[in-house]
Structure 1
Amino acid sequence: MNRISPKQASVHLTPKHWYKSNRHLIKKAICEFYHELLIKPTIVSSSKNGWNTYELAVKNSTIKYTFDAKLLHLRHLWIKDDSLRKTDNNRPSELDVVSFFKEFKSDLGIDDARFPVYLEEVISTLHGSIYKLSSDNLTSDELVHADFQTIEKSMTEGHPGFVANNGRIGFDSTDYQAYAPETGKTFSLIWLAGHKDHTHYSAKKELPYKILIEQELGKDTITRFNQIITEKGQHPESYYFIPVHPWQWHNKLVNIFSPQIAKGDLIFLGSNPDQYQPQQSIRTLFNISNPHKFYTKTALSILNMGFVRGLAMYYLESAPKVAAWLEELLYKDPYIIETNFRMLSEIGAVSFINPYFEALGPESEYNRLLASLWRESPTNMIKREQKLMTMAAFLHIDTNGEAFLPKLINASGLSIDDWLRSYLKAYLSPFIHCFYKYDLVFMPHGENLIMVMDNNVPVGSFLKDITDEATILSPDIDVPEEIKRIYEVVPDDIKILSFFIDIFDGFFRYMAHILEEHAAYDQNNFWRIVAENIQQYQERHPELNDKFDHYDLFAGEFQLSCLNRLQLNQNRQMIDMHDAVSQLQFVGKLQNPIAIFKKENTFTN
């Protein structure tokens, strides 16, 4: 990797883009912090069409923010971009996102020790936003015709709910431009040989190490790597090959694993010829040279959105077994087949155990430094006329302020109603079935779903990140001993929040807003189609009526689980995955937007 010049590092940081990014991030912060009841703007004037003028005052100060907004379902503020103003003592003042966070620090409840790190994440998110504005990305109209990886690198927002969602603390300016998804750059992986005394390999039965590594590396590269091991005076059969991210090698492994390198337990092998493109989930890498090969996911110990992004052997060693069990459970199910739902299974994993840190346990970031996994690629699983895109694209707004989703729907030739029906059958329906039939939930946010598109209509979906996010909620489901970690004891009222929080609040809230703002499609129509999808499933499966009644998706309200509050409370390890439920931040309740569509006697046999 060639280092960029000092001038290149800052060339995109222009006043025009800085002001635009500041306005956008403050607007998002107001929307999300109001949603989570951290701040309380007041209405100072109203109009008949649902638009109000709000005022947000800073405590013990003469500073005020004013804006025009419409309150949508799920306590979501649609703020008119050009209406946002800041005054100090009734005089115009410059919009500055860092000042905004300082002004509302006490409202956010973040302590003095964490505040500077959180501010750095905010500034880094602002920096990324400015870079995206300065890039020559395709417009939303052009993206309709773009390929899978062009769409992937063109996304501009990151996680829709988190305000500080592109921290990537640990990257310097060269790293950012080399490894951030939005730059579209590709790079080679570094490969190490890990001695089998300290290295664990696990995979599905049909993928023993030799077969997997021959596919990923090819015989010529394997011969070259084995020669390097031999020249070190070691035996190639005593080692497993481990792919690592170049950043991880230079910034973590060379130093922290220097004893193992010096003793020959780890051997540097070099790179293979393939080029990889980082995905929206920055540790996941797509083989751009050979798309039929597996995704590779590597440890990347940067601080990003509440976690240091390593990989834990605790999860990896059982990941292929979890994948195989889930496939056996779901892939013979007629309804799953009908919805064209598949998982991108994590079919192989390799991790190196550092004996100096092993006693710290699986949650320590020092035990997440050297591990990788291989995941199925969807490119071999679709028909010739179909194409793929991240579901995050459905929330994409280009740098001209044009939304991608209405352009996509228009190109399909379908009405918005009919397009949504097809989308919900491909996305929502399989998760409803998994929950009610198998007590199984996933984490189906935008970056975790790859949609299968046929003539710009969603006809299926691929789910990734399954084995550390899939959870069985019922002890009545027989889970093999070696994958018991996917079972979790969860209170009844929390179980159904996998829909209300992850899907309704975490994705549909933004989708409904985009369609109303950019396609004049009333939000109530959106939620009516969601209700229709659920009701059609319930009518087809009367044998599950007791569960539909007990876990009621048409309940009048539900608890709000607050993502930003989690990050503000602990921005280095936002949540302990071994005890996630007890650490969730529940504040207030939201009115369920599909409750009004509930049919009487829905669950009567």
Structure 2
Amino acid sequence: MDAFSGGGDRLWTRSGPEARAVAHLEPALWAIANLRLTVKAIAEFAHELLLLPHLEREEAGWGHYRLDAPDGRGRYRFRARRLRLESWLIDPASLRRTRDEDELPPDALSFIAEFQRPLGIRDAMLPIYLDEIASILYSDCYKRAVKRHTVTELADADFQTIETTMSEGHPSFVANSGRLGFSTADYPAYAPEAAGPLPIVWLAVDRDRTAFTTVAGLDHERLMAEELGATAIAAFSERITERGLDPARFLFMPVHPWQWFNRLSMSFAPEIAAGRIVFLGHSPDLYQPQQSIRTFFNATSPSKRYVKMALSILNMGFLLQRGLSREDMETTPPFNDWLSGLLARDAVLQETGFTLIREVATASYSNAYHDEALAEDAPQRDVLAAVWRENPVNLIKPGERLMTMAALLHVDTDGKPLVSELIARSGLSAEAWIRRYLHAYLTPLLHCYYAYDLIFMPHGENVILVMEGMTPARIVMKDLAEEMRILEGADTLPPAIRRNCAELEDDVRMDGIFTDVFDCFFRHLAQLLERAGTLSDERFWRLVADCVAAYQASRPELGEKFARHDVFRSEFPRNCLNRLQLRDNQQLIDPDDPDKGFEYAGRLANPIAEFAPRRRSGGVLGLLAGYFGVGGAPEG
């Protein structure tokens, strides 16, 4: 076997960790990953009007398109169908790339470089964005080489197996999982699709420097007793005593291992030397990284809480701001208490089974040097913080199981979508299955908006499906305080709640439905169902319209609001997430003003406008009778 010197007296072989870091980068897998990402880039950038493919001809229901690079040398040809919401369904097998008339294989990095100018990528940002694209290709090859579960296997899989096998997170972003900061040694330890269960780091942090907040009925002692247990608490207290310090001075705080090694142990060295931070060791339990990369699931004790920890990497348009802001940490538990109390007794939410998992405790440490030297909004101030969140495992009943909603967009390495497998094995027609899903997911979101002026960020990673067999029965919503907004009544709310209030112009007030639900999730789901031949795009959107109309017919007392904020209106602003990221991929939005700074480009035709009840015969009452079955649930 070949060998080479690794430095000093160490000898490495092809089977060593250096070789394993790149073992999945095989030419065939690399070609597939590049084809997939180039197709996605064309589709999403065209959807946002950054690129304008030219229609050359139409044939058998497909358009044949050409996309020319600005330098005139590069050219892409492909066939595609344009579905509702200007969704580009591109046939990957049809993509042909030429440069100076020479045919070349698709190359996602070359594609970004070729179209840098129309994409609006600044020269200074281009190298970082290219690194993000390379990182996504790297992880795609890993998933194809290692995570080869078929959809048949996944349909029966447990919650965490599904969580670690997902092919797609945020589907609208081209650069959706760059994770710059992770080395190839870090990747198998901390990336959700690669990592096995691992321990997390625990610190003791000075009470005087730490803001610790909980929901009513919970304190630090009870939280630690439930999360760590008496044996670990005693061992950690002894380590503090061994340093000649008083354990009563300190709170315990979990830390992401990467954050400890790459960030805190060096930049917080003065705090450690002064005895304000004490390294305690590793957790007695093992944890599983989730698709929401800062969040860990307790694999040793699956009923314990999630823990979410600051992580200073570049991911999804934020540099270092995968931290957790101090202000959010202090207001999160009281906000969660208020929100869950508001919604707990609502009849519509009870009927749909809509559930929130609260962020019940937060801890945030203030570095004295950072506080003195840095601006209040500097992300470096938020790098030592943690959140504990309730666990949905404790909410399920016999016969139920959990599945991330991102799974509905998952496609296995054979090109088969999991959603089609679930439908086929459910015993229901595709239409009946989608009706049940929409009743579980869309109905409570509509009700929260119209009855309470609340909008969530209900993308696939933030929603957990509660499944009965192969069919969605209800949903669990998470990530409440950071990404949920209140649109009315700010003056009447306590200060801790007011932080989540937003004043939006009427034209974009329904972004929480039109952008987050319709454009950023349903558009992709509808295309997947159309591509697989499971359900047509037209029929999917008709079912969405049916769900909306049935909900509205069941709540006549909200008729004035339905008219004022018309979900059936003919069009809405096109909110462009990639434009936002390409403008600044190190700070997607201002964390202190997240409701401003969005990028819009023209308008999108509303895919359900043509199916509005007033445009159909029979009216709303007929629709309601046909849609709902016994007890208000959709017929199956």
Report TM bin, short chain.
over 0.9
Structure 2 letter corresponding to 1:432: L
Correspondent of 2:522 among 508, 511, 520: 508
Correspondent of 2:181 among 170, 173, 178: 170
Q: Which residue of 1 aligns with 2:98?
A: 87
Supply the distance in 2 between the matched residues of 1:32 and 1:189 (Cα, whole angstroms). Answer: 37
1:438, 1:477 within 8 Å by CA — same for their partners in 2? no
Matched, 1:15 2:27: yes
| CA pair 520-333 structure 1, distance change in 2 beyond 3 A | closer
| CA pair 136-491 structure 1, distance change in 2 beyond 3 A | closer
Structure 2 letter corresponding to 1:223: A
1:549, 1:603 within 8 Å by CA — same for their partners in 2? no
**Secondary structure at 1:486 match in 2:** coil
Q: Which residue of 2 aligns with 1:45?
A: 57
Supply the distance in 2 between the matched residues of 1:314 and 1:481 (Cα, whole angstroms). Answer: 11
1:229, 1:235 within 8 Å by CA — same for their partners in 2? yes
Q: Which residue of 2 aligns with 1:62?
A: 73
Q: Which residue of 2 aligns with 1:580?
A: 594
Supply the distance in 2 between the matched residues of 1:136 and 1:506 (Cα, whole angstroms). Answer: 25
1:186, 1:277 within 8 Å by CA — same for their partners in 2? yes
| CA pair 562-429 structure 1, distance change in 2 beyond 3 A | same
Q: Which residue of 2 aligns with 1:551?
A: 565
Matches for 1:461-540 after TM superposition, within 5 Å: 461-475=475-489, 478-540=492-554
Q: Which residue of 2 aligns with 1:449?
A: 463
Deviations 1:337-386 (A, max 9, x none): 11101111000011111122225355322111100010000001111210
**Secondary structure at 2:349 match in 1:** helix
Q: Which residue of 2 aligns with 1:26?
A: 38
| CA pair 442-251 structure 1, distance change in 2 beyond 3 A | same
**Secondary structure at 1:578 match in 2:** coil
RMSD of aligned alpha carbons: 1.5
Supply the distance in 2 between the matched residues of 1:4 and 1:234 (Cα, whole angstroms). Answer: 42
Structure 1 residue 124: deviation in Å?
0.7
**Secondary structure at 2:64 match in 1:** strand
**Secondary structure at 1:446 match in 2:** coil
Supply the distance in 1 between the matched residues of 2:99 and 2:305 (Cα, whole angstroms). Answer: 55
Matched, 1:6 2:18: yes
Stretch deviating more after TM superposition (523-532 or 478-487) = 478-487
Matched, 1:458 2:466: no
**Secondary structure at 1:194 match in 2:** strand
Q: Which residue of 1 aligns with 2:401?
A: 387
Correspondent of 1:322 among 335, 338, 342: 335
Matches for 1:303-322 after TM superposition, within 5 Å: 303-308=314-319, 309-322=322-335
Matches for 1:105-504 after TM superposition, within 5 Å: 105-308=116-319, 309-358=322-371, 360-475=374-489, 478-504=492-518
Supply the distance in 1 between the matched residues of 2:151 and 2:371 (Cα, whole angstroms). Answer: 48
Supply the distance in 1 between the matched residues of 2:535 and 2:394 (Cα, whole angstroms). Answer: 36
Supply the distance in 1 between the matched residues of 2:56 and 2:479 (Cα, whole angstroms). Answer: 45
Q: Which runs of 5+ in 2 are unaligned?
A: 1-14, 622-636
1:167, 1:305 within 8 Å by CA — same for their partners in 2? yes
Structure 1 residue 230: deviation in Å?
0.9
Q: Which residue of 1 aligns with 2:47?
A: 35
Supply the distance in 2 between the matched residues of 1:307 and 1:478 (Cα, whole angstroms). Answer: 33
Structure 1 residue 69: deviation in Å?
0.7
Structure 1 residue 89: deviation in Å?
2.9
Structure 2 letter corresponding to 1:504: F
**Secondary structure at 2:445 match in 1:** helix
Structure 1 residue 135: deviation in Å?
0.8
Deviations 1:112-144 (A, max 9, x none): 111111111111111111111111431011100
Structure 1 letter corresponding to 2:62: W
Deviations 1:285-341 (A, max 9, x none): 000100110000000111001013111111011111010000110001111111101
1:546, 1:603 within 8 Å by CA — same for their partners in 2? no
2:162, 2:403 within 8 Å by CA — same for their partners in 1? yes
| CA pair 594-603 structure 1, distance change in 2 beyond 3 A | same
Off by >4 Å, runs of 4+ in structure 1: 601-604
**Secondary structure at 2:188 match in 1:** helix
Supply the distance in 2 between the matched residues of 1:166 and 1:362 (Cα, whole angstroms). Answer: 28
Supply the distance in 2 between the matched residues of 1:346 and 1:478 (Cα, whole angstroms). Answer: 23
**Secondary structure at 2:302 match in 1:** coil
Supply the distance in 1 between the matched residues of 2:525 and 2:376 (Cα, whole angstroms). Answer: 37
Deviations 1:504-562 (A, max 9, x none): 00000011011111134211110111001110111111111111111111111110110
Supply the distance in 2 between the matched residues of 1:581 and 1:318 (Cα, whole angstroms). Answer: 18
Structure 1 residue 59: deviation in Å?
1.7
| CA pair 4-190 structure 1, distance change in 2 beyond 3 A | farther
Structure 2 letter corresponding to 1:14: E
Structure 1 residue 197: deviation in Å?
1.1
**Secondary structure at 2:593 match in 1:** helix
- Paired residues in the alignment total 601
| CA pair 362-281 structure 1, distance change in 2 beyond 3 A | farther
TM-score, L = length of structure 2: 0.93
2:430, 2:534 within 8 Å by CA — same for their partners in 1? no
**Secondary structure at 2:402 match in 1:** strand
2:66, 2:76 within 8 Å by CA — same for their partners in 1? yes
Structure 1 letter corresponding to 2:224: I
1:362, 1:368 within 8 Å by CA — same for their partners in 2? no
Supply the distance in 1 between the matched residues of 2:313 and 2:231 (Cα, whole angstroms). Answer: 33
Structure 1 residue 582: deviation in Å?
2.7
**Secondary structure at 1:174 match in 2:** coil
| CA pair 242-545 structure 1, distance change in 2 beyond 3 A | same
Q: Which runs of 5+ in 1 are unaligned?
A: none
Supply the distance in 2 between the matched residues of 1:597 and 1:349 (Cα, whole angstroms). Answer: 45
Structure 2 letter corresponding to 1:575: I
Structure 2 letter corresponding to 1:31: A
**Secondary structure at 2:483 match in 1:** coil
| CA pair 514-149 structure 1, distance change in 2 beyond 3 A | same
**Secondary structure at 2:519 match in 1:** helix
Structure 2 letter corresponding to 1:196: R
Deviations 1:6-59 (A, max 9, x none): 1111111110001000000000000000000000111111114x2011100112
Structure 2 letter corresponding to 1:369: V
Structure 2 letter corresponding to 1:231: E
2:147, 2:193 within 8 Å by CA — same for their partners in 1? no
2:613, 2:620 within 8 Å by CA — same for their partners in 1? no
Stretch deviating more after TM superposition (91-100 or 63-72) = 91-100
